[in-house]
Amino acid sequence: MNETISNTGELYNGSSMNTILQTASTSFEIANNNAITMSKTINKPGELYFVNDLIVFTITITNNTNSNIIGLFFRDVIDSVIGPISGDNYSVNTTSGIITNSTNPISISGIDINPNEVVTITITGRIVGR
């Protein structure tokens, strides 16, 4: 459960604060550790990769709350054994956010996730020698 914080403002007549004219309240939630979960998988789990094989990482980011989560930033430092696909660029796709860097390290900014929805990121590289 997220923690709900309430905040109330009070309006008084004069500085003596004897008479309240109006009050107004608002509340907001503070995310707990389980608000967002992330998973990362590969396309050939349990199998060996050889040089020139393509490797595909699939990363899912799940919003486990009933509120919108906006403005997340994703970063992935690719091991040197995995080379780019085209020039210095890896193949990167995302269902939310802007790919700000498709070279190593890969970064995606502005990831927004609707309540109880999932954002999926895929990264494809090619196995190279050490």
Binding residues vs other proteins (CB under 8 A)? 36-42, 44-45, 48-51, 55, 57, 59, 61, 69, 71-82, 127-130
Min dist. Cβ of residue 59 to other proteins (A) = 5
Min dist. Cβ of residue 7 to other proteins (A) = 20
Tell me, letter by letter, the H, E, C secondary structure of 15-31.
CCCCCEEEEEEEEEEEC
Structure tokens of 79?
Answer: 């091991």
Which one, 1 or 77, has the nearer CB to other proteins?
A: 77
Residue partners of 90: CB distance under 8 A and separation at least 6: 78, 84, 102, 103, 104, 106, 123, 124, 125
Which one, 20 or 70, has the nearer CB to other proteins?
A: 70
